[in-house]
Structure 1
Amino acid sequence: MFLTHFVLCILYTMIIGAVDCFPRKSTLSKLSINNSQNATGHWNSKIQFEHGVVNKQGSPLDLKLEQAIVSSERDDVVLITANFTVPPRSTPPEDYELIPGLGFYKLHKEPENWHTARVMCRKEGAYLEIINSHFELSVIKMLFDRNPTLTDDWRNPYAFVGVSDLQKHKTFVTIFDEPLNATGYSNWHPGQPNYDGNCVVVQRTGQLHDTGCEIKFPFFCERGL
């Protein structure tokens, strides 16, 4: 459940005409506002809120809309406030672990190539892991520590995450097209990336490496709250 306030977005559209507001790292919701002025000088604002349905049954949003006039010495301002209460998501598979404040996590121990790993996460209602903080990295390390032997060869210290430069060589982005340096965590191993591969693994130490997408590694899946 979360509460969305978009009064500031509405005011901002009065200046630039349109705004898209996305909750970070969320594939569930999209808020878009388009503002225009007609021939008579009236301002028209179209506000659209899209909420993805996790399960087929779904449930409607609880919407409360309030309007008020706020007066000051210089002007009167119409203040519109809308509160959306979004129903909780469906329960993830039992083998996902809930980390309060972050989400649900799973380390897939059976190695797969990067593309297959991405599809498998999606089928579970999750996505290939994106590390956004050192706190989130501590969760990754915890799952690694519980599984000291994932493979019996050189791949054992590594697991795929949701980052690649498949779209543009030498430009690493997440599966949501967010630049890696904007995620909050981009700790490359010294000498990395060396651009020998297009996909990214995280090492047990927490450092990132680029590698071949077709090489099979264990991988992390993540799902938001």
Structure 2
Amino acid sequence: MIIGTVDCFPTKSTLSKLSINNSQNATGHWNSKIQFGHRTVNKQGSPLDFKLEQAIVSGERDDFVLITANFTVPPRSTLPVDYELIPGVGYYKLHKEPQDWHTARVICNKEGAHLAIINSHFELSVIKMLYNRDPKLHDFSYVGISDLQKHKTFVTIFDEPLNATGYTNWAPDQPNYDGNCVVVKRDGQLFDTQCNGRFPFFCEQTLGK
């Protein structure tokens, strides 16, 4: 026996649909079914961040079980389709064709992204995941860090000091200041190197930017 149904249909300008269905079966049990649909941005779809919380709320006469679901829908991206969305972090791509640091930076910018900046060990795990898909690829890749503006002072491409990024895992004896641009090794260690060296490189677009 269906008691009530509510459908919230999107307009052409929105992407989401919410459906709530309340019913009572033959044994008297109540069932509530809630469906949340989100139109995909492209054929690959867009993963959602999802958090579910449950609590008991006391009213004047009865107690209620309150269930709160929070969906975070990533924004539409104008990036090429080969960028991979990591929910809650951003879009990433490992360019396998080696380039010098300056060319790599230009390529990322042209794609609407920027040379990747590692801000946490979780983000490093994303870098490693992309790396590990191709074990034959060069063990070093460019990231968005250099000391081109001031020798021995490494900053990001946004002029943020390296020690403010949240990740400064230099390899032993690094930096040795023999180079002005930074690469990340497959194991996550950072090295400085000559900017005209040709390496693969990571591009990213952070969510919300």
Tell me if TM exceeds 0.5: yes
- What residue is the counterpart of 2:119 in the other structure? 132
- Check the 8 A contact 2:152/2:177 in 1, yes or no: yes
Partner of 2:165: 183
Q: Cα 1:89–1:176, aligned 2, differ >3 Å: closer, same or farther?
A: farther
Q: Which amino acid aligns with 1:120?
A: I
Aligned residue in 2 for 1:198: 180
Gaps of 5+ in 2: 1-73
Choose between structure 1 and 2: higher helix proportion: 1
SS of structure 2 residue aligned to 1:108:
strand
| Residue of structure 1 in register with 2:106 after alignment | 119
SS of alignment partner, residue 178 of structure 2: coil
Q: Normalised by the size of structure 2, how large is the TM-score? A: 0.63
SS at match of 1:160: strand
Shift of 1:92: 1.9
3-state SS of paired residue (1:104): strand
Q: CA deviation at 1:173?
A: 0.1
Residue in structure 1 matched with residue 155 of structure 2 by the alignment = 173
CA drift of 1:120 comes to 0.1
Corresponding residue of 1:208: 190
Moved over 3 A (4+): 87-91
Report if aligned partners of 2:78, 2:112 keep a CA contact under 8 Å in 1.
no
1:89, distance to aligned residue in structure 2 (A): 4.7
* Alignment TM-score, normalising by the size of structure 1: 0.58
SS of residue matched to 1:131: coil
Q: Aligned partners of 1:145, 1:90: CA distance in 2, in Å?
A: 25
What amino acid sits opposite 2:105 in the alignment? Answer: R
**Structure 1: 5+ residue stretches without partners:** 1-86, 151-155
AA partner of residue 111 (structure 1):
P
Deviation at 1:149, TM superposition (A): 1.2
RMSD, matched Cα: 1.2
Residue 104 (structure 1) aligned to one of 64, 88, 91: 91
1:148 aligns with 2:130: no
Shift of 1:90: 3.3
Other structure's SS at 1:184 match: coil
> Which residue does 1:66 correspond to in 2?
none
One-letter amino acid of the structure 2 residue matched with residue 158 of structure 1: F
For residues 169 and 224 of structure 1, the distance between their equivalents in structure 2, rounded to whole angstroms, comes to: 28
